[in-house]
Structures are given as C-alpha cells and as structure tokens.
Chain A
Amino acid sequence: MFERLLRLIASRWFRLVLVVFIVLSLQTTLFSEVRPFGYAIQLVAIFVASAGSVHDVRTGAIVGLVSGLMFDAVLATPLGISALVLGAVGAGAALMLRSFRDPPWWLRLLAVSVAAACGELLMPLTQAVVGQGGWLGLRVISAMSVTFIGALLIASLFIPVTRWTLREKVLLGN
C-alpha cells in the first residue's frame, strides 16, 4: 500500500499536476494583470505546447487534457472546454514536430508559439459551439499575436521544465 502510494507520488503525472498548479497560479495572478496591449499571455497553453513539443502526440494531448480540466475548474467556463482546446494544442505542437528526428531549438520554439497561438483561435470557436458566442472577432488576431510573441519569449523556459516534469523515473529499484 505504502509502496503504491510512493509510486503514485513519484509518477510523472503526479508531478505534472503539481507543476500545473504553479503554472496556473502564475496565470491567474501575474499574467492576468500583466497584459501587453490589453491581452493576457496564455501561460498554460504555452506550457502544454512545450510538453507536446518535447514528447509525443499522446503525451501532449493528455497534458492538455489535465491542464485544461484544472484551468476550467478555476474559470467559470464549462468544464471541458479548455481541456479540449489545450489537448488539441498539446497534440498539435507534437504533430508539427513529428517528422523531425531532432528538431533544432528554434523550430521547437516556433512550433510551441504557433500551437499556443492556435489555441487562442480554438478557444472562442469552441465556446461558440457550446453556445457561449460573441468572442469571435478581430480581437482574436490580437490575442493570438500576443500569445505567439509571449510564447517565443517564455517557451525556452518551459521546455526544460516540461522535460523534467514528464521524465519517466524508476523508483525503488524497479
């Protein structure tokens, strides 16, 4: 029992939840106030895209799903919307780099930025699908641009963090 608990705590998914907590808290505090040109940089989307860019599509999608559910629990939007969007962001970032065996750093950065920016487009689209329309407009382009540039600056910090977070670890000699 105790060993199983230790295994759970040491698993990469548990580590992911803890790290997402920190990223989420930064998103809801610092990055909800620091708004370049009036738009919030989507830190969680950048984190998920970074995870997708250093791992495979499945991992990217699951990281997106977990982070999105946690983000939805904080927001007042229907539970599952951010999960769907961020899942697509994570999987998208991984898909973009799928054909490269060892992509150069700048390509990884670009893939993260493009995927995170696409998330900003997917969010109002998904909201419109579930009946929360009214957000699709020119401001989406501005929001995408801000997140794209934000991702170019921040992703280089997140890539090693996600690599560490999702690293497989052998525990107790197994």
Chain B
Amino acid sequence: MAKNRTNLTRAIALLGLASVFFITLDLSDSAVTSRMRRVFGTVFSPIENVSRVVTRPLSGAWTAFREYDDVVDENDRLKEEVALQEGAAVAAAASVRLAQELLALNGLPTLAGINSVTAQVIGETPTNYSQIVEINQGSSSGIKVGMPVLNAAGLIGKVTEVFGDRALVMLISDPDYALSVKVVTKSSRTPITLPPLPTEDAPTVDSVLETNDTSSTSSSTSTTTTIFGFTPSATTVPADVVAGAGSKINVPLAGQLAVRETGILEGRGPGTRPIVRFLDATTRAAAIEVGAPVVSSGGSRSLAPPDVVIGVVSRVIERLGTAGPILEIDLVADLSNLSFLRILLYQPITEAGR
C-alpha cells in the first residue's frame, strides 16, 4: 500500500515537473522547442493530410447537414446585398485609388506597396480555447511570424507559427491578440466653401508634379527603408483631381478633419466582440460615434501597417474617473467563415528574426 502511494506521488511529481520544465522552456522562446515543433510538424503533416482526405466526406456531410438552410438564406441575402453594393464599390474603389495615389505622391506608405501571398484555410483550431486557423502557405512563400493576415473584408489576425508549407494564424478574436488601432471619428464643425476658381487659375497636372517633384522623390526613399517590401507606385495625378476647375472647392477647417483616437484592440474569444481599451482618458464617449471605422494605427512597433480596416464601433461604454471609454467593435471580416486569406509580407520590428 505504502509502495503504491510512493509510486503515485512519484508519477504525479514527475508529470508536474516535466510539464513545468517544458512550459518554462517554451515561454522563454527556446530554440529547442521551436525545433521540436518543426520536426514534429514535418512528421505529423503527412498523417494529418491523409486523415483530412479520409475524413473529408464525413466533415462535408456534417457541414451540409448543419448549414444547408443557413447557406440558402445567406445566398438570397447576399444576392440582394451584392446588387446594392455594386454601385458603392465602384465609387469606393475610385476613392481608395485616389487616396493611395495621394499617399504615394506625398511619400507615405500604403497597403498597395506591400507584397502579399494568398493562402487557403485548411484547418481550424482543434481546441475550444484558442482561435487559430491553419493555412496552406509557409516559410517557402516568404511568410514569417508576426505578419498580418487579411481577407477580402479586412484584418483577421496574425501569423504565429510558420512551417515549410503551412502556417498557423491567430485570429483577432483570440484573447491573446492585441493591436494598436485608431478610431476615426467625425467632427461637427462645418467646412468653409470657397467660390469656384477661374479655369485659367486651376492647377494642371504638370504644375502639380513640378511642385511636388523634389519632395516626393526624397521622401519615397525614406519610406522604403522604414517598411520592408514597400515600394511607392508611380505618382500620377488622375485627371479628375484637376478636373474640378471651375467648381466649388470645400476647404475643411482643421477641426473639421476626422479625429483619430488611438487605443489597443483586444480579442475576447469566439462569439464576443473585441474591445478597444486605453483610449485617451480625456476622450469623451460622446465624441465617438457608433459606426465609426476602426483601422490599424501602424507605427514602427505595430503588428500591422497603418490603415488596415478592422471594423466599426458597435457600442461605446463610458467609464467613470480617469479611465477612458471602452469600445466594442463589430469586425468587418466574418471569422466563422474563412476561406482565402491574404498575408501581407510585412514583418513588424518586434517580431523580426523569428
């Protein structure tokens, strides 16, 4: 009896010590654990692939059984939505292009200048306590730890583990995910409207280029060194920029420009909206409107380049005292239905070398 008890105590002590040893090793970013994972991934990958092929009919049957009605409803709804969005999309695309060209003209970084890799989601998280998906591209495609991942709608997460031909992506809803973001709020002041310029005084494409020639060349060089993989595109002024000669020009007041409140976005698990915290304590909740867009703030230590769309404010929770408000965010990307993803080949400085 006493021997049995000793054996039991020894087994439990061994289990505890071994686990604590491995946890400590891994949390201190040991190269041994990374190598172990990589070797295990290489051995396990073919077994997993065979299993995926064998079980595909079963998982397909489950999906069909569970989601058929929802898919039919969603299809009808999406058809209507697509019809509504088609017109808006054309106008939005034109605005985005114009904004990108303006940014490039001023030597500011844009997403268009960052290379990307397209990947497909091949697996979901096997546990109930992590929000991770597996994609079918890895280090052989240039993917590295920390790179931001987007789908057609917006930001969905970041790469956390990379293998030769696959990688793991932590979703934005994971409680371990945090990203600096900015909330673009509106101002209530009205713009000043100037009378139309006479046609002969209106700027031409040549004059605009001449004026900005020196500054754009020098600043584009510095941008390339700041963000890896960023190359400013050709800076041409579209015709409609100067075609406004003769029409009224709206000059916004400084206070009329969009106000950007910065904070930290944190995931809160599946089915729960992420929140933005650490907003400036002086920010009044009333200054932030429901529906205000939330985009990544960028910056040298940020996990994502600036202005990647994340979502919109769905609720503003005001707090007493010096604590700033908390914002609940509706993500634009549907994390429950991910298929094709785009990985921006932009590695944050904080993740460099991993």
Residue A139 CB within 8 A of the other chain:
yes
Task: Decide if A32 touches B170 in the complex (CB within 8 Å).
Answer: no
In B115-133, which residues have CB < 8 Å from any A CB?
123-130, 132
Residue B51 CB within 8 A of the other chain:
yes
In B151-196, which residues have CB < 8 Å from any A CB?
160-161, 168, 170, 175-176
Which of A29, A120, A130, A143 has the most B CB atoms < 10 Å from its CB? A29
Which of B7, B18, B24, B59 has the most A CB atoms < 10 Å from its CB? B18
Task: Decide if B11 touches A74 in the complex (CB within 8 Å).
Answer: no
Q: List 26 A-B contacts (CB under 8 A).
A: A25-B44, A25-B50, A29-B52, A32-B123, A33-B62, A34-B59, A40-B125, A40-B128, A42-B128, A73-B37, A75-B126, A75-B130, A76-B130, A76-B160, A78-B22, A78-B27, A79-B33, A80-B20, A80-B21, A84-B15, A84-B20, A87-B19, A130-B27, A132-B176, A133-B175, A134-B268
Bound form: Cα–Cα A78–B23 in Å: 6
Task: Decide if B126 touches A31 in the complex (CB within 8 Å).
Answer: yes
Taken residue by residue from 3 to 21, chain B's Cβ proximity to chain A (1 for < 8 Å, 0 otherwise) reads as 0000110011011101111
A65 in complex: contacting residue of B18, B50, B268, CB < 8 Å: B18
Task: Decide if A25 touches B51 in the complex (CB within 8 Å).
Answer: yes
In A125-142, which residues have CB < 8 Å from any B CB?
127, 130-135, 137, 139
> A31-B126, A75-B127 known; 9 other A-B pairs, CB under 8 Å?
A32-B125, A64-B15, A73-B44, A76-B168, A79-B33, A84-B23, A87-B15, A132-B175, A134-B176
Bound form: Cα–Cα A28–B168 in Å: 13
**Minimum CB distance partner of B128 in chain A:** A143
Question: Contacts of B175 on A, CB cut-off 8 Å?
Answer: 132-135
Q: What's the minimum C-beta distance from B224 to chain A, rounded to whole angstroms?
A: 32
Bound form: Cα–Cα A131–B27 in Å: 10
Residues of B within 8 A of A (CB): 7-8, 11-12, 14-16, 18-27, 33, 36-37, 40-41, 44, 47-48, 50-52, 55, 58-59, 62-63, 123-130, 132, 160-161, 168, 170, 175-176, 267-271
Q: What's the minimum C-beta distance from B278 to chain A, rounded to whole angstroms?
A: 16
**Minimum CB distance partner of B55 in chain A:** A30
Bound form: Cα–Cα A85–B171 in Å: 24
Question: Contacts of A76 on B, CB cut-off 8 Å?
Answer: 130, 132, 160-161, 168, 170
Bound form: Cα–Cα A81–B15 in Å: 11
Q: What's the minimum C-beta distance from B37 to chain A, rounded to whole angstroms?
A: 5
Residues of A within 8 A of B (CB): 21-22, 24-34, 38-40, 42, 57-58, 61-62, 64-65, 68-70, 72-81, 83-84, 87-88, 91, 120, 123-124, 127, 130-135, 137, 139, 143
Question: Contacts of B130 on A, CB cut-off 8 Å?
Answer: 75-77
Task: Decide if B26 touches A79 in the complex (CB within 8 Å).
Answer: yes
Q: What's the minimum C-beta distance from A10 to chain B, rounded to whole angstroms?
A: 20
Q: What's the minimum C-beta distance from B203 to chain A, rounded to whole angstroms?
A: 53
Task: Decide if B47 touches A78 in the complex (CB within 8 Å).
Answer: no
A83 in complex: contacting residue of B12, B19, B125, CB < 8 Å: B19
Task: Decide if A29 touches B123 in the complex (CB within 8 Å).
Answer: yes
Q: What's the minimum C-beta distance from B43 to chain A, rounded to whole angstroms?
A: 8
SS of A interface (majority) = helix
Bound form: Cα–Cα A139–B23 in Å: 25
Which of A24, A57, A75 has the most B CB atoms < 10 Å from its CB? A75
Q: What's the minimum C-beta distance from A86 to chain B, rounded to whole angstroms?
A: 10
Task: Decide if B11 touches A57 in the complex (CB within 8 Å).
Answer: yes
Task: Decide if A40 touches B19 in the complex (CB within 8 Å).
Answer: no
B59 in complex: contacting residue of A25, A30, A62, A79, CB < 8 Å: A30
Bound form: Cα–Cα A79–B161 in Å: 13
In the A-B complex, the 5 residue pairs with the closest CB atoms = A134-B175, A80-B22, A25-B51, A84-B19, A80-B23
Question: Contacts of A58 on B, CB cut-off 8 Å?
Answer: 7-8, 11
Question: Contacts of B40 on A, CB cut-off 8 Å?
Answer: 70, 73-74
Contact A29:B48 (CB < 8 A) given known A80-B21, A133-B175: yes
Bound form: Cα–Cα A42–B14 in Å: 24
Task: Decide if A38 touches B271 in the complex (CB within 8 Å).
Answer: yes
Question: Contacts of B21 on A, CB cut-off 8 Å?
Answer: 80
Task: Decide if B15 touches A22 in the complex (CB within 8 Å).
Answer: no
A130 in complex: contacting residue of B7, B18, B23, B48, CB < 8 Å: B23
Task: Decide if A80 touches B19 in the complex (CB within 8 Å).
Answer: yes
